[in-house]
Each structure stands twice: as structure tokens, then as C-alpha cells.
Structure 1
């Protein structure tokens, strides 16, 4: 046994630089890569070219080391979210322990001092019993190196695909309570894990504590694929019309399901010196070609390499790639070679397990010790080809708050901020939302989930629905649910003013609009005198209420007021019938007065304070074809929401119109939808429209010209049923080819044993992601739209006193097998 202090190759860390015993200086960056599944073929090519350009500025003797660290972890339950209610606790319990592959990426740039002897498998510091520091000072060379690193950082950042942050001293060397990157590598510590010292064995195998480490390399040109590129097709998500792209090296990244580190080394030498050496090698092979066909083939290959280097101005480099995989489970360890070999086979490469030289390679992969890499384990190539083997995809990122969805690969919960952060960053310019998907794709489940998330954040949610999709959630949060039945018809009271409300201009205008709509079939066919007369009637009616506090505000008392006091006012004012025909007015409005056919509609005595109610659902299925009720109810809803918009200062509001927009548009409210989408942004609001009618997308001018153009956020679900119409849909929705490829990949290869639907989120045409919408059983029972399941939830809610208790009990019985849906 040798104390690690004696052969630790890092001498010291200062000013953000790791200095090795041999005088090598290394700086480190943490790199944020684009999220997995969000890049098109053009994006991969742009990322590839960015790395090639960035490496061209390196000084001779620079070593580039990219380290992608993948660790199997389990989801940790959030106690704060679990305390938010029954659904919050159930969802946290559902996802707790869910395995996923955590990813972090680092770049280490090393400057070797001039004259440093190159290492090999036979000449490595790990073979020595101790190392003494050799300090070499060449400040000017280091300054030039730092300038080149700054240029490298700027080129990658300017690509718009990557962001780098340089690691400081504590992040490199660690502190008493937090392990630095050097310590994490030596002892294979997970992200955020407390520092712990483990024995390291390298004699017959590499073993760190109880973790058995295997090393698989791509270090010989004969083992490399014949062709390489920035991307490859991923058949599981591709269709006949679209080819889904993943990174060329992604099989060794997110798709390699085990604890592993993917190391990518590129050694930048002196280009002219390299070419001179190759010219000499070509001449030697030429002289020996007569003795062996292999020499002739090698001569031709060397000649081709030189022609490409000089003719196309390539940057010749040496490269090495390896996968360092480990496991503390003997069963998993036996599978490591199969997993890594299969991953390399997807790249058309040959997997080689390194044994004798493994300790030297592992040792040289230690951050700050890249210059001790055994050069006999590298191969000659160009920067363009070496960069193809870089992993260019990272894990899905979570915003910390917002809608809870799941990443596509593992279902790890991620919270997506759809509105606040994108507005601040300029990604979107409005918060409007458009949701579309074929029947059964999961639109209602997704919207229920979104509305619940917004409600828990304090948003006022108003939903217009046809089909009863939001009854369970409305009951669960204690909201108002308006629907029409013969026994319990829908009722409102637009004349009622709540304790926190006032009779202002907005309230008066909404009442005028309503009364004119009730009187005139087309609200535009009224005269100025009629408008003034109705305005006067409203003002005098509220003065009458103030003087008579025992009179209950409502349409009945307003009608009585018209027939008594207001009639006298008109007579005393000598108002002509041609200017305002009160008799015709009260005759037309008589069906809404007590004893009339619709006397219930405007005289409600319950659920009056809609302004301050935060969750309201209007279910209009039974009246969507009613020529009188539907237009009136629609006007009341719209005016109520406008009141929320203007009066609830600083509060978020959303109006979600689910499948009801066609009927609303036919009822003369198309202008309201246009108005809403154009102005709601100024009032901190969200307009959301949900539809499954693809023909409407193509033919409706309202959707094409207003809703889609003014909805910067689009949530689209499975549309493969409309594959033959998709070109028109793509044109109407303004989707790029990248978005089309991602959208048509939905639900093509869902994880077996998991019940979820995938959704595509497009924000501003720039940020595009595919997520899982996976619900725990309790959430599904609250959101379900299946009639049989809704009836069962209602039955259990009645049995256990409330819907929350009913859902919890039903879910428990289902898990125990005592009940089935």
C-alpha cells in the first residue's frame, strides 16, 4: 500500500488553476449541454463546428479533456410539496426513488510546460513510489494559454448551444464539508455526496472502495467506425417521413444505463512538426512497401492523411476516448461489458476492455493530471473527426417551480416554468396557450394538471368546458362548478356586487352589454338614445338599492324598478317612444323575470362572489345548441372574466376554453376571443384554447389569424392519426421541421410498465421539448374523463364524505387489488 499523498499528481490549486507535480497547469469548466432530444441535425452540426473552431485556437501542447459523468440516482421526495395536499403527497410518494441517470459535464484544459517528457504506459507517475514537485515558471506562455482558453470559451458560448462556468478553488480542491472535483473523481463520489475516503486498488483490477471499475477504450484506429458524424438517426423515434437525431456519441452517454464516466481526450500538437513526422513515416513505408502489402496500405493511408491535412487545412491531433464504468453489485458488473459493448456497436465501433494499461489511463483521467496520459494509447486523427466522438447532449433541466412533468428518458420529475421565466428572458412575448391533439391523446389530463399547478400558485382559473372534464378537480379544490340540468339549471346574478367589488365603469358597461344582448338579437342594432336610457336605468337602480337596503339585487328587482320608478322618470322626462321603447324592452326581457321561462338564469342567490372565487368551471354541454341560453351565458362568462382581468391587480388569471370555442364563435363571440388574445397580456393573464378538431386548425380564420399567431406557447399531443394532413397542420401551426420531427415521435417508444402520455411543448418557436405527462393514481382519478371511472370516484366520494377521501380510499383499494377501474 502506498499513501495517496505520495503519488497524488496534483501539487496545489491556486487562482482557479490546478498545478501538477510536473508543472502542468489545468483550468476547469462546468459545461451545460443542450437537453437530450432537443436538437435537430442542424443543431448537432452547429455544435460540432463550434468545438472544431474553438479547438483551432489552442496553443501547441494543449490537452483538451471533456469528462461526462453519469451516475444512477433515485428521485428524492420534496417534503414541502408533499405538504401541499393529498395530490401533492401522493405524487411525491409515486416518484420517490424513481431511478434516473444524473449527468454533469466538465472540460479540463491543460498546458504542458515546454520540454516535458511524454508519458506512456511504461513511463507513468502511477508506477513511481513518490513524486516530487517540479515548478516551472513561464508566465508569458501561461498568459497566452489563458487568452486561448478565453477565446475557446467565447466561441462555445456564442454558438448559443453551450454555457460554461469556470470552477473556483473550492470546487476544484474541495472544502472540509464538500468534495472537490479531484476528490470526487478519485473516490467516485456522487453529486452533493459528503466527502469520504475509500481505498483504491489497482494491482489486478481497479477497485475504489467496494466499487469494481472496468475500463473500455477507443484508442486504436482499427477499432473505430469507418464513418463518423455529428449525429445519427434514432430509429425508435423516427418515422417514414422524419428522422429523429441523437448525437453520434449519445449511445455512450444518456443511453448507457450504468454508472460511468465518458472521457474524451484530444491532444493538440505542433501541426508543422506532426506533418514533418508523417512525411518521414511515409518515406519509410515507401521504402518498405515492396516487402509487405501492409506497408503499402499504410503508406497510402499516411499519404491520404497528409493530403487532407494540407489540402483542406485540417488540424491534426491525437485522440483517445474511454468509458470508465463501475458497479458494487456483482450481477450488474457482469452486465457492464455487454452494455458498453452494445453501446459502442451502435456507433459501429469495436469495444476493447483495457486491463494491463487501465491504471495508467484511470490515473491520467484525474482532473489536473491529463499531461500524464500514456500517448501509446492514442491515435492520429483530425479535430473534425475527433469532435464527432464528443457527447453533445445533457439531461433535462428543472426550473424548480411550475408545471410538473417528467423527462423523456427516465420519467424523473422536472418542473417547467411556462410563463414567468420565458417572459423575462424574452423567449415569449405573451402567455397565451394553444393546446391541440387527437382524441384520446391526453389533452384533458394535461390541462387538468396545468390548471391545478396554476391554482396552487395563486392563479384565478376560469374554464369553459363541453364534456365535464374538470368536475373532479373543481370539487377537489372547492371551486364553483356551473352546469345546466333540469333539476338544477345554471344560475348567475350579474347585478350582485361583492364586498370587495364596486360599481365602477367596467361593471356598468358589462351590465349594458348584457341587457342590450338580451333585448336586441344583434347587439350592434341599438341607437344612441337606447344606450343612454339603459345606462340611466342602471345608475338609478343602484341608487334605489342604496336607499332600500332590504331589496335584494338581481334581475327581478331590476325589472320591478323598471316598471315602477324608472317608468315615472321616463314620463317626467317626456322621453319619446321612438327614442326608447320601455314597453318593448320589458316585454322582450319578461322571460327572465320571475315566472318566466328563464327566470332562474339571472336571479341566483348562491355562488354570487365570482370575482374572488379562484377556480370556476362552466360546463355548457347541455345548452351548447340552445339559441337563447348559450349566447346569454357566454356573455355573462366573458364579462365576468373581463372584470377579473381589470380588477384583480397583480394576480395571474387564466381563461381556458376547452372544445367550446366553436360554439362560442358561432354565437357572435369571435370578436371577444380576438380581443382576449390581444389584450390579456397587459393584465397578467393567460388565454388558453384547447381543441382536437384538426379541420378547425386548417379552416378557421379565428384560430389561424388570432389564436395561433398570438399563442407563443403551444402544447401539442399525439397527432400521428393526422399524418396524411400533417403538412397543412405544420403550415398553420408554424412548426419547423425540427418541431415536426419531435411531434411525430410522441409515444412511439414509451417505457414498458409505465402509464403516461408524452407532450410536446413549443415556446416562441425556439425552445422545444418533449416531456412525459405521468400522473400518480390519485391525480389520474381526480382528472379522469372516462364516465365509468368518474362515476366510481363520485361513489367513493359520497361514501367517504368528500372527494379527497374518496380518491385516497379508491386508490388504496386499487393498489391492493380490492377494486379495479
Structure 2
């Protein structure tokens, strides 16, 4: 016989942010934010477990703890608002990617003292109508809410969970938005258009066109022999580390299908419960002579009573079930295998509910836990019951405009990570120094390319010093300046050039003097005060001369000619002697840098001049890193240029990334600049970064240890499993905790995973998955890079070349 929902709906109303049932039950609901999966240590899981036990212990008698976790299949929707070629390509690539959306709720229900016990044969679902009981007493509500406040405070103080109490509109819904009761009755998924579905319990549970199946853990015989706060996840464990995962995780995020995981813990009068069990033990004692099963049950009951009294355990009743649904007949057939396999991972046996399924489905409705059949529960202790609670959720994402796009390691869903601003505001990090370390082929350059491109898209000025040409593709794609040394096209600078509107300040003058002194003097030669004054006056006079002269291009050549002519007259007028400033010696030593000299190309560039306002610059030093003349000049020019950006581009983010070149820079006396950059750049909204692939560099180099690691709160590490047997030294140098070590050694480069440590407090593994366009723009593989450049030449640009290459690969 069909009945209207209004006749049998157990919910009477919503008042004072509470759900009131027709049987007099009061329910308070919380939306819960859980820790992220794959980020907790064994100690963390134990701490969460103990916090839940403490919270449940404060709940009063006749109270029900109902935790309901929704896991619904969803598709990723791009959050970024447009962008360049690579940004648009990545949005198309990731858009629509399937993942499991998770939301968690805790319902605390207080039953009235005279509430009749409910069984499968006495359920509100079986009644024709439900007559509401009398109004709830105000004092009862006040006392219960006080207890709820204590429960909430205990969980919040643990530091692992955040609870937000749901308001009336969120419970009951509005005309525009469904409440949680309505969502449950219609199995509405997040983002779904609000749909009213018909409920049917005839042959199976059907909600509209959705077929539901319920699998429960309701019998002690089906439970695992051992349970705990966490289990070992073999997939991410190694010979030296055991990777922990929540004990109930297989029924949560690891079970990929639409399902709700319901966890019930019933708090009853402990003394009454123990008295019933004592009577049961005596009854089994008298029957033990007739059956071995009775003897075993007697011993089990006796052990339970001994532990309850001896260890001061809190006896509770519990029930756990999974409600899974689908409208696909093929998927429906596979649901049982999926759920059974998930429960088998914790050595439990799934029982598919048939006759009792409607009552359980009805009792899982928010606010109706008091109607749960008692015969579908089992006796246990709070400590064991809490082992079956789901403790993890998905990776959270920062706003796309502030973060770098990575992917979570479970489903490959894009998540954005703000590594720089948010951690500093939260007190997690104190600087923005970055260290990237990994073996050759581990994905360092691809990762840094991706980070640099993201920062560039967000408006940052990026300067990269490279050995190996890893950033040429990205530089050409974004239209940046690429400086490299080749015999036919040697590297060129023009530190004497000032952009229109710029002026000679003391900092620019000091950097030019440092450059000229480096070219003139050797390291063991002294540089006196009179020479310093003469060079300073020469630079001031030269820039005054440029303002009055016409058709004079600022470069080393014209500066050299100014010294030969105008400045010689100035020196004579000031009676400057050779012992004070030997201008002839200066001109002779610097003659190779003047036109027609051996290095006349180095300081006389006529293109790529406005480096200050160019947001993307790459200096590739592979071919000149061992040159005794060119390399020191190049490093000085880079230093001068970046310091100029750092101080003049107020409000702009500046990024200095040194990829393997730090060793060469350090050898040429630039170690102090590295120390300066890592200690000072953060004050100018700057990000210094160093990339290395040698483990011994981290351990043995004083520059890396003292200047970089100590001032790099952001550490990005690749697959380190090959160093597992000598990992202790690396762990000590990097200051990694045992938790970070366990997470780091789970990284698998074959899955494109990277480990990110923020200030030693946040340690997480992400996938650096790239769309094909990003991959070919960032690739450092020799053959692939050559192919990209060939296509770029054929098509006229790197962007068109990548498009054509991907098109040809897909066609093949």
C-alpha cells in the first residue's frame, strides 16, 4: 500500500538549529572538515582516535553518535579564468576528470528517557502514521546543548578537525536550496540540479531511477579479529618505512563508487548494559555443558565484562553500513564486489541487507538515528568502535589565482597549492626560499618549468640561471629573453643601458663600478680610494654626457671613448696623477672589451636591452661556465640585473631560480650573493630557488647547508628511494621528521609524484601531471626537445610547433 511521505516522515520540524523528531529526539548536526588523506603519521592517527574517544565519552546516556560520510562521483570543473596557450590547454585537458567528492557530517541525537526500543519489527517505517510526542522540555535541550559544546571543543582542540554547526536553513532547506534531510531522501549529489525522486521499498530500495544496496557490519562474527586507529598501506610502504592509513579508509575514499558510509555509536546506560551482559553470562554458563558454542560465548562475554570493569572501558553498541547506489545495471552488478573487497581489506565480511534494508535506510536519515533497529547492532567498547570511523578527506585546494596547479595522488584531480603567501600568513614558513632536489630524470626541471610558468602567469618576474638548456622552450613560448653563449652568437649584455625614464642611482653606479673593477683588477690586486672616486666620477660624467650628446648609444664602447677623450681632460683639470688613477692602464686592460677586441660582444648588446621590464629571462651558462673571463662578467651582470629588479619593481613578485649553475657561481666568488639572496630577497617580495641533483651536494657543500637549506622553508624533493640506505644523512641535513621521511620515501617518479615540505609543518605528496602541450613545452629529453624545435621552425613559432606535433602524434 502506498503511503505519503508526510504520513511517515519521522521529522517533525527544525528549530533552534536542531532537528526534532516526532518521537521526541533532538539532533544537532555538524559539517566536519577532516585531515587530508596520505598526510598523517602513526602518531597523528592515534591522536585523532583518542580525541574521538574523549569526545564520545562526554556524551550523555541515551545519546547516538551518527557520522555520515558522503562519497559521490564528480567531475572536475576548471576554476581558472582564461590564460595563455598552456593555461587554456591544461584547462581543457583536466576539465571533466572523474574523482570522488567527499563531505562529512556528524549528527548527535538525544533520545527521551521513555523512548521505546526499536527493532526491525517495530520501526517508524512500518507505521501507517506517526503521532508526535509532547514538546521537548527546555531544560533537557539546554543540558544536551552544553554537552554538545564540550564534544565540539574536544574535537576542535585536537587540531585535526574543524566542526561547523549547521543552521536551520541548511537542515530544512529553502525554496532555492535543499537541506541535508531532503538531499538524503533524494540522494542529491553536490552540484546536481535539485531533483525530487520517488522512494520505493517494494523489491529493492529505489530512489527515483537509482537502485540502492546496503552492506553492513552488524554482527561480531563479521568483524575483524584486530582493529586499530590505522593500518599499513602497502602501496606506499618500503622496506624501511610503514606508510599509515586510516583503518576505515577502504570504506571511504578508496572505495570508488557513489556511496554513503554510516557510522553509528549508541551510548546507553553502562550499568544497565553490564547487568544485562552479566545475566547473559550466567545463562550461557548454565547452557555451556550442552554446547561448545555456548561455552565459547560464555568465555567471550566474561572477557568483555572483565575488560569493561578492569580497564574502565566504556561499553557501547555500534553499527556500520555502506549505502551504495547507481542507475547503471553494469555498475550495480559490480557494487557487491567493490564493497566486499573494501571490507575484506580490514578482514571484515560484508553482509548485504535485504529484508532489513528499508529500516536501515530510513534510520540513516539525518535526525532519525533513534529509529535504528537495535537487533542490527553489536556490543563493543568506544575504543574499538572509533577504529571504524573514517578519518580522512580529499586534498584541499587554494584559490587558483594564488596557487600552483598540481594533482592529488589518489584520483589525479587538479588542486592548487599556494606555497608562498598563505604559509607565511599562517606562520608555517618564515621565508620563500625554495630548494628543489632529485636525481637525474626525476622530474626536477619539468616541475620548476611548471612553477615558473604559473608564477609568470600570475605576474611575477622570473630570472633563471641554467646549465643545460632546460628552460629554452618555455622562454620562447612566453616571449622572454634567452641568453646563451655560442661561437656564432655569443652571449651579450649591456649593463650601461638605462630604459627610457630611468636614471642613474647610487645602486646602479655601485654595480657598474663592481663590474669595471672585476674587469680591471685581479683578486689579489688592491683597489684604493682614489681609484674608487675616479671611477665614480667617470660614470657620473658619462651619463651627464649622454644627456647632452646626440646619436650616442649607451654601451661600453661609448663609455670607453668618453674615457679616452672627455674624461682625460677632466683628470688633467683635477691634476690627477697616475699613482692616484692610472687611466692608461685602465684603458689598456679593458681594451679587449672595446670594439674589435677579443670580447667586444660582451658589453655592447644592442638588443634585449630592457631586462628590467622583461618578466621572463633565462641565462644558459653551459658553454661559458669554465671561461675565466666571460663567466665572472656574466655572473656580475646577472647579479646587477636581478638586484635592480628586486629594488625597483615595487609590488611585483621576483623569482630567482638557479638550476645546477649554483656550483659554478659559487666557484667564481658569488657564494656571498647566494647567501645575500636567500636571506634578503623575501623583504622585496622575492623567491630565491636552487635546484640540484647531487645528494652529496646537500651533505657536503657549506653554501648549500648554511646559506640555502637554512633559509629555504620550501623544499621540493623527488623520488629518493635509490638513496634509501643512506637516507639518514640527508634526513639530518634537511631536518626531516620521521613522518616526513615516511611520506617522502613513498614518492614514485613513475607516477610523476613530488614531495613538498612547507616549513617542516606541512608535508604532502602531489602529482605533477602536465597536459601534452605543457609536457612538450617543458621537456628536457634530448630527442623530444629537438623534435619540438624542428616543428617550431617549420610552423613559425613554438606554440604552433607544439600544436602540430601533438596533432601528428594523435593521428599516428
Q: TM-score, normalised by structure 1?
A: 0.97
Note if 1:773 corresponds to 2:768: yes
Measured in 2, the distance between the counterparts of 1:282 and 1:272 equals: 15
Q: Is the 8 A contact 1:18 1:27 kept in 2?
A: yes
Measured in 2, the distance between the counterparts of 1:588 and 1:116 equals: 101
Q: Which residue of the partner structure matches residue 747 of structure 2?
A: 746
Point out the more displaced range, 381-390 or 571-580.
571-580
- Kindly state the Cα deviation for residue 235 of structure 1 after the two structures are TM-superposed: 0.8
Q: Which residue of the partner structure matches residue 437 of structure 1?
A: 438
Measured in 2, the distance between the counterparts of 1:194 and 1:74 equals: 15
Measured in 2, the distance between the counterparts of 1:510 and 1:800 equals: 42
- Kindly state the Cα deviation for residue 580 of structure 1 after the two structures are TM-superposed: 2.2
Q: Is the 8 A contact 1:591 1:599 kept in 2?
A: yes
Measured in 1, the distance between the counterparts of 2:520 and 2:144 equals: 81
SS of 2:203's equivalent in the other structure is coil
1:470-481 maps to which residues of 2 (within 5 A)? Answer: 470-481=471-482
1:243-258 maps to which residues of 2 (within 5 A)? Answer: 243-258=242-257
Q: Which residue of the partner structure matches residue 174 of structure 2?
A: 175
Point out the more displaced range, 786-795 or 208-217.
786-795
- Kindly state the Cα deviation for residue 520 of structure 1 after the two structures are TM-superposed: 1.9
Measured in 2, the distance between the counterparts of 1:812 and 1:805 equals: 11
- Kindly state the Cα deviation for residue 524 of structure 1 after the two structures are TM-superposed: 8.3
For structure 1, the residue ranges without an aligned partner over 5 or more in a row are: 751-755
SS of 2:590's equivalent in the other structure is helix
Q: Which residue of the partner structure matches residue 564 of structure 1?
A: 565
Note if 1:542 corresponds to 2:543: yes
Q: Is the 8 A contact 1:400 1:414 kept in 2?
A: no
- Once the two structures are superposed, residues 264-292 of structure 1 have per-residue CA deviations (whole angstroms, 9 ceiling, x without a partner) of 00011122222222223323333333333
- Once the two structures are superposed, residues 795-819 of structure 1 have per-residue CA deviations (whole angstroms, 9 ceiling, x without a partner) of 22222222111111211221111xx
- Kindly state the Cα deviation for residue 197 of structure 1 after the two structures are TM-superposed: 0.9
Q: Which residue of the partner structure matches residue 238 of structure 1?
A: 237
User: Residues 346 and 496 (structure 1 numbering): CA distance in 2 closer, same or farther, change over 3 Å?
Assistant: same
Measured in 2, the distance between the counterparts of 1:115 and 1:690 equals: 69
- Once the two structures are superposed, residues 553-591 of structure 1 have per-residue CA deviations (whole angstroms, 9 ceiling, x without a partner) of 111111111122222222222223333222222222111
Q: Which residue of the partner structure matches residue 226 of structure 2?
A: 227
Measured in 2, the distance between the counterparts of 1:278 and 1:212 equals: 39
Note if 1:640 corresponds to 2:641: yes
Measured in 1, the distance between the counterparts of 2:10 and 2:375 equals: 20
Note if 1:261 corresponds to 2:260: yes
Q: Which residue of the partner structure matches residue 97 of structure 1?
A: 96
SS of 2:347's equivalent in the other structure is coil
- Kindly state the Cα deviation for residue 725 of structure 1 after the two structures are TM-superposed: 2.1
Q: Which residue of the partner structure matches residue 667 of structure 2?
A: 666
Measured in 2, the distance between the counterparts of 1:324 and 1:134 equals: 30
Note if 1:761 corresponds to 2:762: no
- Once the two structures are superposed, residues 8-37 of structure 1 have per-residue CA deviations (whole angstroms, 9 ceiling, x without a partner) of 111111221111111111111111111110
SS of 2:141's equivalent in the other structure is helix
Q: Is the 8 A contact 1:16 1:27 kept in 2?
A: yes
Q: Is the 8 A contact 1:177 1:194 kept in 2?
A: no
Measured in 2, the distance between the counterparts of 1:11 and 1:506 equals: 76
- Kindly state the Cα deviation for residue 95 of structure 1 after the two structures are TM-superposed: 1.4
- Once the two structures are superposed, residues 479-511 of structure 1 have per-residue CA deviations (whole angstroms, 9 ceiling, x without a partner) of 111111111111111111112422111111111
Measured in 1, the distance between the counterparts of 2:427 and 2:603 equals: 44
Measured in 1, the distance between the counterparts of 2:57 and 2:38 equals: 28
Measured in 2, the distance between the counterparts of 1:694 and 1:578 equals: 51
- Kindly state the Cα deviation for residue 180 of structure 1 after the two structures are TM-superposed: 1.2
Q: Is the 8 A contact 1:153 1:164 kept in 2?
A: yes
SS of 1:623's equivalent in the other structure is coil
Measured in 2, the distance between the counterparts of 1:272 and 1:88 equals: 64
SS of 1:774's equivalent in the other structure is coil
SS of 1:126's equivalent in the other structure is helix
SS of 1:183's equivalent in the other structure is helix
1:571-590 maps to which residues of 2 (within 5 A)? Answer: 571-590=572-591
Note if 1:386 corresponds to 2:359: no
Q: Is the 8 A contact 1:443 1:717 kept in 2?
A: yes
Measured in 1, the distance between the counterparts of 2:625 and 2:563 equals: 31
Q: Which residue of the partner structure matches residue 330 of structure 1?
A: 329
SS of 2:658's equivalent in the other structure is strand
- Kindly state the Cα deviation for residue 371 of structure 1 after the two structures are TM-superposed: 0.6
1:12-51 maps to which residues of 2 (within 5 A)? Answer: 12-51=13-52
Q: Which residue of the partner structure matches residue 109 of structure 2?
A: 110
Q: Which residue of the partner structure matches residue 9 of structure 1?
A: 10
Measured in 2, the distance between the counterparts of 1:523 and 1:497 equals: 32
1:203-602 maps to which residues of 2 (within 5 A)? Answer: 203-401=202-400, 402-522=403-523, 525-602=526-603
Q: TM-score, normalised by structure 2?
A: 0.98
- Kindly state the Cα deviation for residue 367 of structure 1 after the two structures are TM-superposed: 0.4
- Kindly state the Cα deviation for residue 707 of structure 1 after the two structures are TM-superposed: 0.7
- Kindly state the Cα deviation for residue 706 of structure 1 after the two structures are TM-superposed: 1.7
Q: Is the 8 A contact 1:713 1:762 kept in 2?
A: yes
Q: Is the 8 A contact 1:442 1:757 kept in 2?
A: yes
SS of 2:760's equivalent in the other structure is coil
- Kindly state the Cα deviation for residue 523 of structure 1 after the two structures are TM-superposed: 8.4
Measured in 2, the distance between the counterparts of 1:428 and 1:661 equals: 24
Note if 1:789 corresponds to 2:778: no
Point out the more displaced range, 643-652 or 273-282.
273-282
- Kindly state the Cα deviation for residue 309 of structure 1 after the two structures are TM-superposed: 1.4
- Once the two structures are superposed, residues 294-348 of structure 1 have per-residue CA deviations (whole angstroms, 9 ceiling, x without a partner) of 3332222222212211222211111100011111111111111111111111101
Measured in 2, the distance between the counterparts of 1:473 and 1:525 equals: 43
- Kindly state the Cα deviation for residue 528 of structure 1 after the two structures are TM-superposed: 2.2
Measured in 1, the distance between the counterparts of 2:714 and 2:269 equals: 50
- Kindly state the Cα deviation for residue 97 of structure 1 after the two structures are TM-superposed: 2.0
SS of 2:73's equivalent in the other structure is strand
Measured in 1, the distance between the counterparts of 2:205 and 2:165 equals: 30
Point out the more displaced range, 577-586 or 402-411.
577-586
- Kindly state the Cα deviation for residue 90 of structure 1 after the two structures are TM-superposed: 1.5
Q: Is the 8 A contact 1:38 1:768 kept in 2?
A: yes
SS of 2:623's equivalent in the other structure is helix
Point out the more displaced range, 125-134 or 335-344.
125-134
- Kindly state the Cα deviation for residue 723 of structure 1 after the two structures are TM-superposed: 2.0
Measured in 1, the distance between the counterparts of 2:529 and 2:48 equals: 65
- Once the two structures are superposed, residues 659-683 of structure 1 have per-residue CA deviations (whole angstroms, 9 ceiling, x without a partner) of 1000000010001000000001100
Point out the more displaced range, 214-223 or 310-319.
310-319
Q: Is the 8 A contact 1:432 1:711 kept in 2?
A: yes
The number of residues matched between the two structures is 809
Measured in 1, the distance between the counterparts of 2:679 and 2:526 equals: 25
- Once the two structures are superposed, residues 530-566 of structure 1 have per-residue CA deviations (whole angstroms, 9 ceiling, x without a partner) of 2222112111111111221432111111111112222
User: Residues 214 and 598 (structure 1 numbering): CA distance in 2 closer, same or farther, change over 3 Å?
Assistant: same
SS of 1:689's equivalent in the other structure is strand
SS of 1:721's equivalent in the other structure is helix
Q: Is the 8 A contact 1:261 1:324 kept in 2?
A: yes
Point out the more displaced range, 382-391 or 127-136.
127-136
Q: Which residue of the partner structure matches residue 753 of structure 1?
A: none
Q: Is the 8 A contact 1:260 1:326 kept in 2?
A: yes
For structure 2, the residue ranges without an aligned partner over 5 or more in a row are: none
1:628-707 maps to which residues of 2 (within 5 A)? Answer: 628-707=629-708
Measured in 2, the distance between the counterparts of 1:9 and 1:764 equals: 51
Measured in 1, the distance between the counterparts of 2:241 and 2:459 equals: 41
Measured in 1, the distance between the counterparts of 2:6 and 2:713 equals: 57
Measured in 2, the distance between the counterparts of 1:174 and 1:680 equals: 51
Point out the more displaced range, 110-119 or 579-588.
579-588
SS of 2:119's equivalent in the other structure is coil
